[in-house]
Amino acid sequence: MRPLLFGNGRLLICEDELGIIRDIYYPYVGLENHCNMIRAGIYDANLHVFSWLDGWGIQQRYKSSFEENFFETLEDLKTDDRENMEIGFCASNIGETIFENQSLGLRVRVLDAVHPSSNYFYRLFDVMNISPSSRDIGLFSNQNYNILENKIGETAFVDGDMLIHYKRDRYFLHSSYPQFDQYAVGVAEWKGMQGTWKDMEEDGMLSCNAVAHGSIDSTISWRISGIRPGESRRIHMWIVVGRGHRQVVDIHRKLKENGPANVYRISFNFWKAFIEHVDALPECRNLRELPEKVQDAFYRSLMATVAHMDVNGSIIASCDSEIKQFGADLYTYCWPRDASWACIALDRARYHHLSKEIIDFLSKIITVDGYFLHKYTPAGDFGSTWHPVPMIQLDETGLPLYALYHNWLMSKDVWIIGRYFSSLVRPAAEFLVGSIDRTTNLPAESFDLWEERRGSHAYTAAVVHAGLRGASEIARILGNEKFHSRWSQAAELIRHAALDLYDDSIMHFRRSPSDSTLDASVFSIWYFELLPANDPRVVNTMRAIERELTRPSGGVARYMHDTYHGYMNSWIICTLWLAQWHIAVGSLDRALELIKWCSDHTFSTGLMPEQVSDDNTFRSVLPLMWSHCTFVLAVLEYLRAVSDNQRKE
């Protein structure tokens, strides 16, 4: 799990549920994870005991309540006297982790943030003595990197107030205020050498070795003497990430000149302004009427979606690298399907500038033949795959077309649809027309959205229909009647064929002509407007999903007898699809129950998993970007329905 994320579109840093930094992605969000772990510890000089903070009691959250003068109380923070900060609740990207060890009588609060536009990560350690006697302690931070994703050929050295790790053109500069008073760099995880932290663990002292290379780590420490009962002391630490020595040193010097802890105020103001954009939507006037956890999850979902996005428009499925333990691969790829759903959600929230970046990325990775491959790295290269040639999922070509059309519906920006007509719309639509199986009028067989089985699936048919219908409307808007007619006719062929998948004997849509399994993804039949949401065939299908796929915890499984990461786990997206249908047919109370179920099954930081087991434990990755962008969609659709009802009254 990665319950805390801090990023800016180039740098993404993730912490696990123990407060250990596990992932440092740079220079792409999701590509080149340079971190093994960064963890902190305490040496009690009175008791001669060392303890890692990740073994203490822990509370993690994003700070969302701000007491008056919060920023001014941070040591050495220079603020603008004219600033009028709103006191009270405000979603932020400032992480707050509280470690407590009753036996040692210590509490450590850690505030974390990444600067919104400059590539550095900032930590503030607030160490409090909660024992009845004065204390002498040492605070330590151990850095263990995998620069360029391996331990070979790395160098670390100390230069004045800077500790720098580097390999090739990847540099990681560490500094602090007050300056660290001990340090060590040395061999780690090589020929029995565990790392420089062993010295610290044994006696609280470091060797002060100033340079090492190969498979290495580093440790820095600060002596904190004479902390009285109830007193706290602060240590400020930062990590600057860049492509060269001069670059990271220049950022470090500017950071010191401007007042290091200014990053908290800057981060707060940036994300506050980001949230105010969606707050201005007419339907969001009812947002404050929702349960507080739903409000929190809505804002967090917006920020979590964007956290997975690179400045080049790529958006990864999940930053949680722990998943590699299950299959030697990751979720840090850009699936055109997931990217398109993110695009739809961001457009629905009126962040059109962000959805445009995703569309631009998609226009650059589409093949010359007009289709998308399985998945891509954030740099735009073809990613790993378990699909045999031709490695195509047709829904992943249909959904980007629909996402672009949805952008038009939301923004009415003709420049966007005009700009991408030749590079994206025409080649993708023509490929999809050519992919229709003329014996069934369904899209040719390909892997389903779950990437588990080949066939002509209802979800794929609905999405390809929506993509072709959207493409035909774009052609009409741009005055190309030939393509409008060709693509709309193809969409209608698929629509009629897809409706034949309804099976009267089982009272729901089949997953495919040869597979009658009840699958939550057939929500796509009404969502992409092949039928109205209140059509009896849709009603029967959605009621069957609610009846047969709802789990004891209250969430909704993907399909009968699903075994991925456990038996019929609830999926956040499937639960929200059911909520969206209830919204569409006016069952707003039930819709809110399902939305609230999702917000109740988040980590304490508000981040959502892919799956929830029947015993309410999280399964697979946390966070999953698709969970978050679907939550944004569902809440906005719910708020719009509430607003529509109010107007009718």
- Rounded Cα distance between 14 and 472, Å, is 42
pLDDT of residue 77: 44
Neighbour tally for 107: CB within 10 Å: 18
Backbone region of residue 209 per phi and psi (left: phi > 0; alpha: psi in -120 to 50; beta: other values): beta
pLDDT of residue 127: 97
| 99 neighbors 42 (Cβ within 8 angstroms) | no
Beta-carbon contacts of 541 under 8 Å, excluding residues fewer than 6 positions away, are: 502, 507, 508, 509, 522, 525
- Rounded Cα distance between 420 and 425, Å, is 6
pLDDT of residue 207: 94
- Rounded Cα distance between 14 and 24, Å, is 7
Count of helix runs (H) and strand runs (E) in the chain:
17, 28
Please tell me the number of Cα atoms within 13 Å of 179 on its side-chain side.
8
| 342 neighbors 632 (Cβ within 8 angstroms) | no
Domain 319-500 CATH class label: mainly alpha
Structure pTM?
0.96
Q: What dotted CATH number matches 4-66+86-271?
A: 2.70.98.10
For residue 252, which phi and psi values (nearest 5 degrees)? -60, -45
pLDDT of residue 64: 86
The two tokens of residue 27 are 């220079």
Extents of the domains making up the chain: 4-66+86-271, 319-500
pLDDT of residue 71: 79
Would you say the CATH fold of 319-500 matches that of 4-66+86-271? Answer: no
| 35 neighbors 25 (Cβ within 8 angstroms) | no
- Rounded Cα distance between 476 and 488, Å, is 10
pLDDT of residue 82: 36
> Mean pLDDT of residues grouped by 10 in the chain (649 residues)?
98 98 98 98 93 97 82 57 49 96 97 97 97 96 97 97 98 97 95 87 90 97 97 97 98 90 91 94 94 97 98 98 82 98 98 98 98 98 93 97 98 97 98 97 97 97 98 98 98 98 98 98 98 98 98 97 97 98 98 98 98 97 98 98 91
pLDDT of residue 89: 63
| 217 neighbors 195 (Cβ within 8 angstroms) | yes
